[in-house]
Amino acid sequence: MPRANEEVEALLNEYADLLSITGGDGFKVRAYEKAARAVAGHQEDVSTLSAKQLRAISGVGSSIADKIAEYFAHGQVAVIEEARTRIPAGVRELTEIPTLGPKKAMLLYEQLGIASIDQLVDAIQHERLHGLKGFGPKTAENILHGVDLLRSSGGRVLIDVAMELAEDIVAQLSTVDGVERCAYAGSLRRFRETIGDVDILAAAEDSGPVMAAFRALDLVAEVIASGEKKTSIRTAKGLQVDLRVVPLESWGAALQYFTGSQAHNIRTREMAVHAKLKLSEYGLFEVDSGELIVSRTEEEVYQRLGLPWIPPPLREDRGEVEAALRGELPDLVEVTDLRGDLHTHTDLTDGIASLEEMLEAAATRGYRYYAITDHAPNLVMQRMTDEKMLAQRERVRELDRAYRGMRLLHGTELNIDPDGEVDWPPEFLAGFDLCVASVHSAFTQSRADTTRRLVRACENPHVNILGHLTGRQIGHRAPIDADFDEVFRACARTGTALEVNSFPDRLDVRDEHILHAKRYGVKFSIDSDAHSIRDLAQIRYGVGTAQRGWLTADDVINTWPLTRLRKFLRKPSARGA
């Protein structure tokens, strides 16, 4: 997303928070939140748009358009500055505490002058909340607990952690008597890169036994809430898991509802309202008669709203409803479309499995081709040499004759140095079937230098794929700063594919970059970057990320037949050389 759009998104969300804290009209609050989402999802840089062009964005009217224009003209917005002076930043911070929302935060500030989490904790410990309306002993306890959670975890976990937990829970609950269906939903089903809590849905006539089984799971550290229809628990690692139980007749509507996103659900429910229907997790109902229309499958629910079934990774209110109405939903790439993996390692460098072991595991996955791409010598710690690389190539050629049905490609993962140069001279690079090139150091260069560095790598006639473009490690290392539009244009111009790296702490490039790059005509390679046999299976997270970026099989070079792939790997700039 353009940086300006990100700034405006944050500004509008902040103002929405400030309005809700001051008790402003809830619909007005939602209008600002909706506008924030609309700006974030808008492809053009909003700082370059006139007020009239801004108003053309759905959800942005004249008032918000004027505020955005004011922001870019003066660096601030008067009414937002004014709201900031009335509500200290610490009061907004209070609403980050679970169970403490805008109303309670404002009451604490008005009655007791509390304007930070520290002050709130201090007030509770000194029993200064006594007699404050709505703050009984249980509320105080919940707030302290919420502060602990906030300080310890920050909340979200990587997708593989959540996925393994969810699959374990679904497997266990599926065996409970009376459970007719069980599945995970929520952001996990949409393949978001990090997960705040896990949503599990079960279908059963009597919810009692499955709720009891859920509370009794070994992984439960704390039961947060438990009722007839919904139970929430927290695991020892601090991850919240919600279980909802519905009758089987409601399965489709419930799955649609609990998959979200919230913004997508608002869109679908609005469509229902316009059709004189009411959509809830229990089904699609006729408003006048209250009669149930459909709810058994998601397909039925969407169909009755006049839509085709929308794949979960698209359900972010990023234009999927409009595309569905036009009949232009993309036919998303699937794991089964992949014919091979183009970025993998062995124990010749930092992998932990041998070449033979990795190939055996790859063949089991049914791949038609497979590339070995160990590190090149400039990552000195990997101790690569020309001789070792050539010996590996010879071994790969031998094994290639032995494997029926899976062709082996010999490649390497080059290191893009701060100037955009890579490890070997052109003559040596020409001997590889393909080259991935990635940034492994100097992550804090200036934006201009980084951009030049990446464009230069694209222009190298032997570089076929840019590996983990931004270098980010979720929760640990920030992405490099570059003019990515410039890089995407260079990728498209030079025939360099952009990697979707499937490692759960990378997922690099991410969904928003994919959406942008695709518009420039960039092609992608979904790779495992496997360093072990187990890592090969992580490719499903890369595929999920690619789906969130609206990619079809045709956008992804490792779904192509080998002949088409080989043609792509011979870059225009290398032909005839």
Partner DNA sequence: GCCGTTTTCGGCCCGACTGTTTTCAGTCG
Binding-site ranges for DNA (CB under 7 A): 25, 27-28, 30-32, 34-35, 55, 58-65, 95, 97-105, 133-140, 142, 186, 196-197, 199, 225-231, 240, 242, 260, 262, 265-266, 269-270, 272-274, 276, 278-282
> Among residues 48 and 63, whose Cβ is nearest to DNA?
63
CA distance from start to end of the chain:
38
> Among residues 80 and 574, whose Cβ is nearest to DNA?
80
CB of 58 to DNA, least distance (A): 5
DSSP string covering 390-459: HHHHHHHHHHHHH-SS-EEEEEEEEE--TTS--SS-HHHHTTSSEEEEE--S-TT--HHHHHHHHHHHHH
> Among residues 284 and 557, whose Cβ is nearest to DNA?
284
| Phi, psi (degrees; rounded to nearest 5) at 434 | -160, 155
CB of 27 to DNA, least distance (A): 3
What does the block give as tokens for 346?
Answer: 């062995």
What does the block give as tokens for 150?
Answer: 């906030």
CB of 104 to DNA, least distance (A): 3
CB of 129 to DNA, least distance (A): 9
> Among residues 35 and 480, whose Cβ is nearest to DNA?
35
Contact 556, 525 (CB under 8 A): yes
> Among residues 105 and 389, whose Cβ is nearest to DNA?
105
CB of 97 to DNA, least distance (A): 7
Contacts of 94 (CB under 8 A, 6+ apart): 100, 104, 105, 108, 109, 114, 116, 117, 120
CB of 98 to DNA, least distance (A): 4
> Among residues 60 and 348, whose Cβ is nearest to DNA?
60
Residue with tokens 């560095």: 453
> Whose CA is closest to 109, among 192, 100, 304?
100
> Whose CA is closest to 453, among 419, 495, 478, 491?
419
Backbone angle region of 350, left / alpha / beta, with phi > 0 → left and psi within -120 to 50 → alpha: alpha
CB of 67 to DNA, least distance (A): 8
> Among residues 32 and 550, whose Cβ is nearest to DNA?
32
Q: Which residues pair with 76 in a beta bridge?
A: none
> Among residues 8 and 105, whose Cβ is nearest to DNA?
105
Contacts of 354 (CB under 8 A, 6+ apart): 346, 347
> Among residues 233 and 342, whose Cβ is nearest to DNA?
233
Q: Where are the alpha helices (DSSP H) in 276-407?
A: 298-304, 320-325, 355-364, 386-402
Backbone angle region of 452, left / alpha / beta, with phi > 0 → left and psi within -120 to 50 → alpha: alpha
Task: Indicate the burial class of 43 (C-beta count within 10 angstroms; 0-12, 13-18, 19 or more).
Answer: exposed
Q: Where are the alpha helices (DSSP H) in 275-332?
A: 298-304, 320-325
CB of 190 to DNA, least distance (A): 12
CB of 228 to DNA, least distance (A): 5
CB of 265 to DNA, least distance (A): 6
Contact 556, 337 (CB under 8 A): yes
> Among residues 168 and 228, whose Cβ is nearest to DNA?
228
Residue 267, SS3?
helix
Residue 286, SS3?
strand
CB of 35 to DNA, least distance (A): 6
Q: Where are the alpha helices (DSSP H) in 87-154?
A: 89-94, 102-112, 117-125, 137-152
> Among residues 257 and 550, whose Cβ is nearest to DNA?
257
